Copies of this chain bind each other. A is one copy, B any other.
């Protein structure tokens, strides 16, 4: 289950409440496209901004509308007891797995993070994806810590940040991680711009932001790579460079993907939780130009 394309949908808001219709439509879109799994309430799904009650409800909606596609749910929170409460709610909702990032306010030590994962895996029967997202958590995993955590029973996968662009460096990076974790733990790449490079370098999965809104596009890259057609995967990723450039130019993927979803009428305008403002009009215009130029309006 922790291989192939895992699509990370937005959790669109409308007037500061979860837009359940829009969310259900996104889930159905992913199931119809045939993604390998759906990870709801990832960073792209704004988990950090939602109340425990909203998160429970979203988890249930995701499972109920995924038509059998395995659903993983993000359970991260600043306090361990809140993480455990989220995990229990997700288990009740019938999800297939948990995604856990070490959210920080005060900086965490390696021992803090190890104990968090040990506590969660001891309390939940669901498999866990270790979510390494330094851009939002500001926590840096060492390879040694990957190894310690991956040995815990219940750890199924590690979601790593983007790999180096250069193929040899990417293979070295993935190989270093592979060397310190058990065989049954998969490695999934994030950072959409480097996904094809990551799959070519030996990653088992793509934990994909763009796949949550444009699943057919992301499936094309994933299937090419999984069938060994790495040059096709990389060529398609390179064709999308104007999109990846917007991610970096506009300060991260979530604002751009929200603008895409809003343009495609998959969410209403201002679907992000404040204080996150959507893109400006001028930025949205650029996004639409890229969508049209690359033929992404499907």
Chain A interfacial positions (CB closer than 8 Å to B)? 16, 43, 48-50, 78-81, 102-103, 105-109, 111-113, 115-116, 119, 135-136, 138, 251-252, 254, 273-277
Q: Choose from B78, B80, B275 the contact partner of A80 (Cβ within 8 Å).
A: B275
In the complex with contacts A78-B48, A78-B49, A81-B16, A105-B277 CB distance below 8 A: no
In the complex with contacts A275-B80, A277-B115, A107-B251 CB distance below 8 A: yes
Docked CA distance A43–B108 (Å): 14
Would you call A111 and B80 a contact (CB within 8 A)?
A: no
Given A49-B105, A79-B274, 19 other A-B contacts at CB below 8 A?
Answer: A16-B81, A49-B79, A79-B273, A80-B273, A81-B274, A102-B275, A106-B252, A106-B254, A106-B276, A107-B136, A107-B251, A107-B252, A108-B275, A109-B277, A112-B275, A115-B274, A115-B275, A115-B277, A138-B138
Instruction: Specify which chain B residues have a CB less than 8 angstroms from the CB of A136 in the assembled complex.
Output: 105-107
Docked CA distance A80–B277 (Å): 11
Instruction: Specify which chain B residues have a CB less than 8 angstroms from the CB of A50 in the assembled complex.
Output: 79
Instruction: Specify which chain B residues have a CB less than 8 angstroms from the CB of A16 in the assembled complex.
Output: 79, 81
In the complex with contacts A49-B78, A81-B16, A138-B138, A275-B113 CB distance below 8 A: yes
Which partner residue on chain B sits nearest A113 by CB separation?
B275
Docked CA distance A167–B195 (Å): 49
* Min distance, Cβ A181 to any Cβ of chain B, angstroms: 21
Docked CA distance A275–B114 (Å): 9
Which partner residue on chain B sits nearest A112 by CB separation?
B275
In the complex with contacts A16-B81, A49-B79, A78-B49, A277-B107 CB distance below 8 A: no
Instruction: Specify which chain B residues have a CB less than 8 angstroms from the CB of A135 in the assembled complex.
Output: 107
Docked CA distance A107–B43 (Å): 12
Q: Choose from B102, B106, B109 the contact partner of A43 (Cβ within 8 Å).
A: B106
* Min distance, Cβ A6 to any Cβ of chain B, angstroms: 20
* Min distance, Cβ A271 to any Cβ of chain B, angstroms: 13
